[in-house]
Chain A
Amino acid sequence: MKYIDEYQDNKLAKGLAYKIAQRSTKTIRLMEFCGGHTHAILRYGIRQLVPRTVEMRSGPGCPVCVTATADLDKAIALAHLPDVIITTFGDMIRVPGSYSSLQQSKAEGADIRIVYSTIDAVEIAKTNPRKSVIFIGIGFETTAPTIAASILKAQQEKIENFFILSLNKVTPPVMRALLDSGEVKLDGIVCPGHVSVIIGSHPYEFIPRDYGVACVISGFEPLDILLCIDKLVEQIEKGEPKVEIAYPRGVKPEGNRKARQLMDDVFEIGQANWRGIGIVPQSGLNIKGKYERFDADKAFSVSPKPPREPKGCRCGDVIRGAATPLECKLFKKVCTPERPVGPCMVSSEGACAAYYQYGIPENSQSF
């Protein structure tokens, strides 16, 4: 497939790996923010291709994983209201909440439907006018414009039974929160590719400026990631951290203005609750007052019991990059994709799911 196959070439990958090895003298730690990158890194054996001097850590870039248990409990409580249809992206349904999951609620008779797109959720509202259709709005800046578009569509078409539970989050503020905590020392960040298609490269500029940490935006094919690591190593070796784009076929410095306009029209910035991190100021997207009739938080009242975190689960530590899945006692023993304890084992972007699926090779550089 065009723009995929040519970025998976083995010979070119070896060339890049050689160049990185030539350049790298300092021992450094990089974080790949995005769970999509974690999966690609493990799937294509990138950790074995980079020199021992380069350690890679997974970050919080998995929207399902960072959804706080309290927010998931709220979604589950909404599912049990009469005449409600819950629409959601697939991964959410299997994540265990404090006392139940959306999947369990579905088995108990709640009407919960997996959709591919917010377009499908709006269609379900149109064809079920007597029901309230609530979409569980998770995702970062990549997805938030599509959720904004669904609200605008519902307004234009006067669909009054469509609602969004907005749990959407934005990424640069959580990077700041991680760097401020100082828990995991980082030299560079593999910045998210498809978030950056929307926001561009400018929102990361505070990272090299205020924290001296290198930032390179990467695509998702193995050559994209190796090129990104090469640029990060180069910046760190030279002691000149800055923001670079190693995915220029997809990302422009200015991002996608049209998508951001729609986002800005519908959402305002507020705080958000991140699993494993807590409340992060300025990191959430709330529905603006002028669209409040679509806001599930305003339209429905539920009071779930106080949240309970799954015992022994280290998802929170994995999300912050403070632990690897291998450091969790439940990993592979109690917690498996068939019987997940935490969201990092459920989501197709979760670090635990990636470690489980692709394994950690014996000669891995990072352990």
Chain B
Amino acid sequence: MCLAIPVRIVSIDGNEAETEIAGVSRRVSIAFTPEAKVGDYVLLHTGYAIGVIDEAEAEETLKLLEEIASLSEVH
């Protein structure tokens, strides 16, 4: 029910956007994420974008995970 998957916005038409994931397109409502831009990834839940993925935070998390992994290799 609370499943949401990241999809990339390809084009925007008012309150709706054409999105793409793994080669599949889908029209979604961006009524809750008016700040979303073409190229952004949004979390898609039952036809609605519920949030825009923060790319900088995503990279930050991955960097942190890599640091943790490299530290644990030392031991």
Contacts and interface: CB of A to CB of B under 8 A. Distances in A.
Interface of A: 1-4, 6-7, 9, 11-12, 14-16, 18-19, 34-36, 61-64, 89, 91, 116-120, 138-140, 142-143, 145-146, 149, 192-195, 197-198, 223, 227, 230, 248-252, 256, 258-259, 262, 347-349
Given A249-B57, A259-B32, A197 B72 contact: no
B42 to A, nearest CB: 10
B47 A116 contact: yes
A18 B67 CA distance: 13
B50 A249 contact: no
A258 B33 contact: yes
Interface of B: 1-6, 8, 21-22, 29, 31-34, 41, 43, 45-48, 50-51, 53-55, 57-58, 60-62, 64-66, 68-73, 75
B40 to A, nearest CB: 11
A197 B43 contact: yes
A145 B32 contact: yes
> Interface on chain A toward B: helix, strand, loop, or mixed SS?
helix
Contacts of A258: 31-34
Contacts of B6: 1-4
Q: Which of B1, B6, B69, B75 has the most CB of A within 10 A?
A: B1
Contact of B2 (A18, A195, A249): A195
Contacts of B71: 15, 19
A227 B64 CA distance: 10
Closest 7 CB pairs between A and B? A15-B69, A117-B47, A249-B58, A18-B72, A248-B57, A259-B32, A3-B6
Given A258-B32, A262-B32, A249 B72 contact: no
Nearest to A171: B2
B2 A61 contact: yes
Contact of A62 (B1, B55, B68): B1
A3 B74 CA distance: 28
20 contacts: A1-B21, A2-B6, A3-B53, A4-B6, A12-B69, A15-B68, A18-B75, A34-B2, A36-B2, A116-B47, A117-B46, A119-B29, A142-B4, A145-B32, A149-B31, A195-B2, A248-B61, A249-B53, A250-B4, A259-B50
